[in-house]
């Protein structure tokens, strides 16, 4: 739960530094963070995700919770165009991001 504290520009800088630290052809970045679901989300965490997004607005200016599309765009901009998003029965999801070559 680090990247949700930052705006997109700062996240790209953080991801760029992560990419530099990952061994070529053998590493990946693991992110555990909320992935907002579409408006038709009826899971037990639907209201919690909205509450956390509002909390981010109050406590971390520029920080935000992101949808899957927003995560994929952000990761691509940071040099991780291939990723897997693994949903969990919790507020967070696991995001595996693989550095571009």
Catalytic residue among 1, 3, 4, 20: 4
Structural contact between residues 83 and 98, judged by C-beta atoms closer than 8 angstroms: yes
- The low-confidence residues of the chain, meaning pLDDT below 70, are 1, 38-50, 52-53, 55-61
Supply the pLDDT for residue 16: 95
Q: Which CATH number characterizes residue 48's domain? A: 3.40.50.150
Tens-place pLDDT, residues 67-88: 899 999 999 999 999 999 998 8
Domain of residue 27, residue span: 3-98
Number of structural domains (the chain) is 1
Structural contact between residues 69 and 56, judged by C-beta atoms closer than 8 angstroms: no
Residue 4 is a catalytic residue: yes
pTM of the model: 0.81
């Amino acid at each position: 739960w680090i990247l949700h504290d930052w705006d997109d520009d700062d996240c790209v800088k953080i991801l760029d530094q992560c990419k530099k630290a990952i061994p070529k052809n053998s590493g990946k970045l693991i992110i555990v963070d909320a992935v907002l679901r579409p408006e038709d989300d009826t899971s037990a965490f639907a209201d919690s995700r909205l509450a956390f997004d509002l909390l981010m607005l109050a406590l971390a200016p520029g920080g935000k919770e992101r949808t899957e599309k927003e995560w994929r765009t952000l990761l691509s901009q940071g040099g991780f165009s291939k990723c897997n998003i693994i949903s969990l029965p919790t507020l967070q999801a696991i995001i595996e991001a693989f550095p571009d070559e």
